[in-house]
Structure 1
Amino acid sequence: MKKIIVSAVVAAMALSTTASALEDIKTSGQAKLWYETNDANKADLFTVAPSTGEVVFKLGMTGKQGNVGFGTTVYQTSSMGLEGTLVGATRDNTSSAMYVGEAYITAPLIASTIMKFGKQELDTPLAFTETWNATPNTFNAAVLVNNSIANLTLIGAYVGQTNTGITGTSVGSFKTSGEVDDQYFGGAFAIAGLYKNDALAANLWAYQVNNVGTNGLTWFTAAAQPLDLSVNALWADASMKAGVVNLTGTAAYVTHDNDNADATSAFALSADTKVSDVTLFAAASTVSEGDLPVANTATGFKKSKLPTEGVYTDGLYVAQPGATAFKLKASGKLGTTGLALQGVMNKNSHDDTDTVGALGLSGLAPAHETTEVDLFITQKLGDFSLTGILMNRSFADSVTDDAKGGNYIRVIAAVNF
């Protein structure tokens, strides 16, 4: 299979240089090292057991023939033989995997409408590509985008498959599983209207995710659920400028069609401004005690578009039912070095003996009460981009604090070619 993929990529590149019918051929590539270690659960930093790592090679190509465009991205992931000596695990579900992450076409239809069809990255509030990991998750989807009305973009999408191992996915830290061939439940539909002018930007999304019970992913605590259970959701956000401050408000509503459904609603507000060369950011969010989180349905709710999440205090915490979260961040540059410092605090309104949210994520309510402080350092060294993230996590629950609390260090080194 690897030989077939490599041969296809080489043949496509050769074709790009010889076939005059193809236009605007562009190739891109990246080599990346992703490494993380921690001292949680009585471990030592930089030892094998608590450390994960991956080397990723990415090769992409885009172009068009007439009005029809295309794009493809191939990934090769490997521990480079360091698993068991430097790291205890990789960030991909398959060792030394080569797979096609993107393979799509774009084509104009009628009335200022463009179709994008095939394997692709998505950026929607409740089903999106997460880029924090060694490799991103992608989707088999069909997306229609219409721009026939000034300042308004209309979107319709169908999502059929993903590559995050969504079947039987467990608590949180998703890993891509190579080819984009895992069923996205019974398929998901999304429609959206995105409006933007000089004074205001507003986005409205509506979702229906079908048959979420068919592949064993229990999204909420219940004695039983029908196999044809469907989830419906709304998401709205709006941004405006008030003097020198940028304001954004967010609201979301998520429910399902079980007879005993308890809908979840979420609200958030964020503000940012620039003081000299420093950008200051503040955000708050709250989620009601419903059945479902308000986070990425493609990755076991790992990440959320709520503005309060941190590196680890993410969709598994701030987007869970009963959560109230606050975030402060300052970012800027010291010479050529980028620096950012942020703090996130998450509380939960459930009783201490209540299990919180989908899958009983992280257990009882006190396990969701957490504080995180993150320091980001970025630097260019020649052609290499370096990112270091220093994290400290603490929990109100002593058992959870012993297991997950502590210091975490993540290093990402990448070079584009």
Structure 2
Amino acid sequence: MKLVKMSLAAAMLMGVSAFAVDNVKISGDAQVVYGTWDADGVGYDAVAVDTDGALFDKDSSAADAALHLNVSADLLPGISAGASYTAISSLGLENNFVSNVWASSHTASVPNGNNYANTPTTQAVLGIGGAKVENSSWFNEAWAAVTLGHTTAKVGRMALDTPLAFTETWSVEQNTFEAAVLLNQDLPDTTLVAAYVGNGNGTEFFGDGGANWSNVYSLGLAYTGIVNGDGAFSTYGTDGAYAFGIVNNSFKPLTVQAWYYDVTRTAQAYWIQADLNMEGIMLGGQYTDVDAGDLTGLDADNAFAVMAGFATDAFTIKGSYSSVSDNGVGAGWNTATNLFTAQSKLYTEAWWNYGYVAMVDATSFNITGEASLSGFDLGAYYTSVSNDTMTTHEVNELTITAGTQLLGALDATLAYINTDAKDQNNGDAYNAVQVYLTLNF
């Protein structure tokens, strides 16, 4: 679910320990998500049409269901393998309960007849009732790993979690990569990472120009989307990408990491971050530089972010600030998905409206409060982004969430989101309500 966030260093170290599984391990989850909004228009990335939005109205709602199955096993001493399978279905909710799907991995066909005009704009007005939505399924992971001493090599289709190229886990669909990764922990409290990424199935900004995007986007039916139609993989960047990183935790309260990326013939970037967590006091700093001049001819952009907070077993409160220079294409977004909606690892990232904090000339701040109370996980998140260069990409977002566990295994989360963005809903503020149900097994 979108609420779950993990530090980059922890995720990388978890990836190393995950190779050591006992025999065969099977896990997974089943998810149902629902979203409704009172903004005008149809869908998150909709064709511009004039329809009146209302909360819980069919044409202003989206839903999807997903099944994720994971299996991993030790094949021989030091050799392991794993695979993950994803299936996405609308469960037939379209045409009677909602008019939009949550995921972009669907494909849709439009009937030709007297009652339907086969154009994206008209179909967006008609909603999904004028289109047949197909289920989607694919192997999002299929990998093998070899461990010798403190060195592990992992090859195949896999999830990645690095600052500028990562798997986004907030949706029912998750983008993954076809890659080769080498991790070494011979140095005390240090992880060295080298990776080559050949392909990805995210809706990638530096990729094939959207050739594999599902047509639920062009029909204005996708509420969200980070995965190509039917999970199709294509070349990452123009000729693949290289990434190198070092994560150090010698002083236990402090985690320091540095990364360098080379998206072949497209862009170069680096990311530096330090996070301190000592007796509940949290301090952090981030700096990144992205040079996409090979692709755009523009100057490099950089971004920095700072964070301060305090955490106890009962609550967490923190504030953060970030700023992006005004030279190029922005800095700090996930290069594996589309620039204008990609999630960012910057501390200031919004809970729902991704993409704004990493834009050219964006100045952002975020205030986050989380608490556990009587079996409920409560959260309040406020993000504000101003922009003197891209003035249409300013946003104020307030999100309030409540989550709990039902029947011992069913995670349920309710979210309310108020969005005031200049490039959405004709610049007027609007509301959204989302429900996430996840059955883990």
Pair in the same fold by TM > 0.5: yes
Name the count of aligned residue pairs: 360
Alignment partner of 2:276 out of 213, 227, 240: 240
Are 1:256 and 2:292 an aligned pair? yes
Matches of 2:313 and 2:82, distance apart in 1: 41
1:101–1:180: 8 Å Cα contact kept in structure 2?
no
CA drift of 1:368 comes to: 1.6
Give the partner amino acid of 2:93: L
Percentage of matched positions with identical amino acids: 29
Partner in structure 2 of residue 340 of structure 1: 379
The runs of 5 or more residues in structure 2 that have no matched partner are: 1-20, 41-51, 107-133, 218-222
Superimposed CA distance per residue, residues 169-223 of structure 1 (whole angstroms, 9 cap, x where no aligned partner): 3899533233452211220100001111214211000001124xxxxxxxxxxxx
| Structural mapping, 1:207-226, within 5 Å | 207-211=261-265
Cα offset for 1:244?
4.2
Q: Over residues 33-82 of structure 1, what are the superposed CA-to-partner deviations in whole Å (9 max), with x where a residue is unaligned?
A: 01111101130111222222111011111111112111111111100111
Checking the alignment, whether the CA contact within 8 Å between 2:105 and 2:231 is kept in structure 1 is: no
Superposed, which structure 2 residues align to 1:85-124 within 5 Å? 85-90=96-101, 91-94=103-106, 95-109=134-148, 112-124=150-162
Letter in 1 for 2:195: A
Call closer, same or farther: CA 1:276–1:209 in 2, change over 3 Å: closer
Are 2:190 and 1:152 aligned?
A: yes
Secondary structure at 1:149 match in 2? coil
140 and 373 in structure 1: CA distance in 2 versus 1, 3 angstrom threshold: same
Q: Give the alignment of 1:310-329 within 5 angstroms.
A: 310-314=350-354, 316-329=355-368
* Alpha-carbon spacing, 1:275–1:152, altered in 2? closer, same or farther (3 Å): closer
The answer (yes or no) to whether the contact 1:92–1:134 under 8 Å persists in 2 is no
The CA deviation at 1:113 is 1.5
Distance in 1 between residues matched to 2:263 and 2:256, nearest whole Å = 23
Gaps of 5+ in 1: 1-21, 212-229, 351-355, 357-364
Alignment-derived partner of residue 256 in structure 2: 202
Displacement of 1:23: 5.4
Distance 2:171 2:159 in 1: 14
Match of 1:174 in 2: 225
The answer to whether 1:371 aligns with 2:424 is no
Alignment check: 8 A CA contact 1:138 1:162 kept: yes
| 2:413 paired residue number | 387
Q: 1:28 to 1:260 in 2, by over 3 A?
A: closer
Question: What does the per-residue CA deviation read over 1:348-401, in whole Å, with 9 as the maximum and x for residues that have no partner?
Answer: 132xxxxx3xxxxxxxx1x22211100011011112110111100113x4x745
TM-score if structure 2 supplies the norm length? 0.77
Corresponding position of 2:438: 414
Structure 2 distance, partners of 1:268, 1:416, is: 35
Distance 1:158 1:309, change over 3 A: same
| Alignment TM-score, normalising by the size of structure 1 | 0.82
Q: Is 2:158 aligned against 1:137?
A: no
SS at the partner of 2:335? coil
Could you report, residue by residue, the CA deviation over 1:239-260 in whole angstroms, capped at 9, with x for unpaired residues?
1246642101000001134494
Change (3 A) 1:404 1:132: farther
* Kept after mapping to 1: 8 A contact 2:142/2:156: yes
Give yes or no for contact 1:138–1:180 (8 Å, CA) kept in 2: no
User: CA deviation digits over 1:325-346, x for unaligned, max 9?
Assistant: 0111111022001101111111
